[in-house]
Amino acid sequence: MNKKDKRLGYEKLVAILAPEKNFLGKGFQEDTYHYLVSLSWSLFIFWTILFLLLVTLLFGLFYYFTNTLKLGYSNVYGTWVSVWDALFFSIASITTLGYGDIRAVGLGRVIAGLEAVVGLMFMGVFTALTFARLSRARIRIHFSKNIAFDEHEGVASLLFRVTNLRANDLVGVHINFYFMKIIPLKDGTFTRRWYLLALTPPDMPVFSFTWKVAHQIKKDSYFDGKDWEEITNNEGIFLAILKGYDIDLATESMVYNVWAADSVIKGNLPELLSKSKEGRPLSISLEKLDEIIQKEINVDVPKEKSNSA
């Protein structure tokens, strides 16, 4: 596993959690709606504009090369229709504007009607997709880049910070924390095992700003008896799933984050809240949310009850 890539992307997550998905053959053609709804806004707008331009260009070139347009006025070239006139008519047709200064004749009338239908269908699909994208409840949660290995209430623990990046409050927030271990098999394949890592506490009644989440390594933990080196050398990933009710959007939302096993660092998560001399809270940079003060952790980890994979 690449030690430089501490924050795993979706592709790497699928490659680790379910490599079988690569053989399902599902892609844009088989799941177009999900692809368009889950695209980033920049890509969604880019593909929308590109599709509109290509369709407009295709119809415009047809009008131009088939000579199926007539000008309703005379220009410096008389009544000769230029390629720009054809493209302008195509734009007016696909948007159903119909200025009337250029008209279609012959087969061009049929094609102009077809283009108007394509334009109406395009606007309908675009409006529906835009509404679907805007109506999806999204919460902005920042997970610390690394997991800290430190003492928490006198017990060796794994800690990470969760921050609400929006001004709204989340209520009834719950986090499930897992470790997935990859176990090689004799036939060259591998299997996956999930271990639930209990948090103290796993719930936050009202989540306004930041939350330091801790998993204490006790006898019922998968990492019982394992020190920092044994944890980081595991072939596996950590997965945190956060669920909460957004009172502004009146809906429940979910977000997750994945860390590689070697993302665990010896050190503690510093406190974020600080005040100036005047007593006003100081602004916090996003880099502070990922800060871990590294130090040597001398934690007495009992070995006699170590879990086996």
pLDDT tens for residues 233-257? 887 889 999 999 887 777 888 888 9
| CATH class for the domain made up of 139-294 | mainly beta
Banded model confidence at residue 125, pLDDT cuts 50, 70, 90: very high
User: Could you give the residue ranges of the DSSP H alpha helices within the chain?
Assistant: 10-17, 32-38, 41-66, 83-94, 107-134, 228-232, 286-289
* All structural domains of the chain with their residue ranges: 32-134, 139-294
Q: Do the domains at 32-134 and 139-294 have one common CATH topology?
A: no
Residue 229 Cα distances to 151, 154, 262, angstroms:
16, 20, 9
The token duo for 134 is 């805007």
pLDDT tens-digit map of 175-190: 999 998 877 778 777 7
For residue range 22-52, list pLDDT tens digits in order: 545 555 556 788 788 888 889 999 999 999 9
Query: What confidence category does residue 269 fall into, taking pLDDT thresholds of 50, 70 and 90?
Result: confident
- Asked if the model's pLDDT at residue 145 lies above 80, the reply is yes
Q: Roughly how many angstroms between the first and final C-alpha of the chain, as a whole number?
A: 19
Interval 68-95: pLDDT, tens:
898 877 665 567 788 888 999 999 999 8
CATH class of 32-134: mainly alpha
